[in-house]
């Protein structure tokens, strides 16, 4: 597939590292072969519990650290347009959902993406993920079907495979595994001991070679 300025991928997640775990391979592949990538990251993940291993930051510095990590990770993933919306970690579900959907709608209108990646409502585990997913779905539903970008939804709740299956779109990203690991490592405060996790957790190993997206009925 040839690179096309108009083949735009829009990624919307609430926390720095959501994009890397779920989608680094797909993002890098898109940025390399298809077109530009915009990432709207709704919070700075500043309420995270991990302070590095060993501890190298604190609650107040974590925002700065994660902001820098996000910028570095975005560079590794060749994300050309990184937007930090500045909501507070843990509070997305308490924001006005209609207003958030409106803002996402405006971003879609501006970037005219061919594909949107975000979470799958009901299977996204973290309340910020769920709130983001609902707002994205709401924004997409407000667009005429003919103009709507493709929606690739990330689901990882424990009941996902039982209830939704293996995935509607399973991207083989094994060609980008090294770059994905580099993007994950850029989120150092959250991924300290990554190699140990990779060796112990088969789900993470699977994520390094396959990125699974589900069709969500809009």
Partner 1 sequence: MQTLDLKVVQQYIDDHANTPLYVHVETTNGAYATHQDPTFHSAGMFFRNAEITYERGLITGNGPYRIGLKLAHGWLYGEGLTDYEFAGDQLLIAGHDIEGRLAIAFELSPTPFAQGAEEVE
Query: Does 84 interact with partner 1 (rule: CB under 8 A)?
Result: yes
For helices 177-186 and 59-76, the axis angle rounded to 10 degrees is 160
Give, in order, the Cα–Cα distances in Å from 55 to each of 47, 58, 73, 192.
Answer: 15, 8, 20, 10
Q: Which is nearer to partner 1, 141 or 196 (CB)?
A: 196
The Cα diameter of the chain in Å comes to 51
Q: Which is nearer to partner 1, 43 or 179 (CB)?
A: 43
Q: How many residues of this chain bind partner 1 (CB under 8 A)? A: 28
Query: Does 196 interact with partner 1 (rule: CB under 8 A)?
Result: no
Tell which one of 71, 157, 204, 209 touches partner 1 (CB under 8 A): 157
Q: What's the token pair of residue 175?
A: 């060609």
Q: Return the bridge partners of 81, or none.
A: 38
Q: Which is nearer to partner 1, 6 or 49 (CB)?
A: 49
Residues 6+ apart with CB under 8 A from 36: 5, 7, 8, 9, 80, 81
**In angstroms, what is the minimal distance from the CB of 188 to partner 1?**
13
Interface of this chain with partner 1, residues 11 to 70, rule: CB under 8 A: 44, 46-55, 58-61, 63-64, 67
Alpha-carbon distance 118 to 23, whole Å?
10
**Which range of residues in 31-39, 82-90, 109-117, 144-152 is near partner 1 by CB under 8 A?**
82-90
Q: Which is nearer to partner 1, 5 or 203 (CB)?
A: 203
**In angstroms, what is the minimal distance from the CB of 98 to partner 1?**
21
């Amino acid at each position: 597939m040839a690179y096309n300025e108009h083949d735009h991928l829009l990624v919307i997640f609430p926390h720095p590292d959501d994009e890397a775990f779920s989608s680094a391979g797909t993002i890098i592949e898109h940025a390399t072969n298809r077109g530009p990538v915009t990432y709207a990251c709704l919070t700075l993940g500043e309420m995270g519990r991990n302070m590095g291993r060993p501890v190298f930051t604190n609650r107040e510095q974590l925002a700065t650290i994660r902001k820098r990590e996000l910028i570095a990770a975005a560079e590794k993933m060749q994300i050309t347009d990184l937007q930090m919306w500045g909501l507070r970690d843990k509070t997305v579900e308490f924001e006005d959902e209609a207003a958030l959907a409106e803002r996402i709608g405006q971003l879609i209108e501006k970037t005219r993406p061919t594909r949107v990646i975000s979470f799958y409502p009901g299977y996204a585990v973290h309340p910020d993920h769920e709130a983001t997913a609902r707002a994205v779905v709401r924004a997409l539903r407000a667009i005429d079907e003919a103009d709507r970008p493709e929606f690739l939804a990330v689901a990882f709740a424990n009941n996902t495979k039982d209830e939704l299956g293996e995935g509607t779109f399973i991207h083989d990203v094994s060609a980008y595994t090294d770059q994905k690991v580099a993007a994950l490592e850029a989120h150092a405060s959250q991924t300290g001991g990554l190699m140990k996790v990779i060796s112990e957790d088969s789900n993470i190993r699977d994520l390094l070679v396959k990125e699974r997206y589900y069709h969500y009925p809009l």
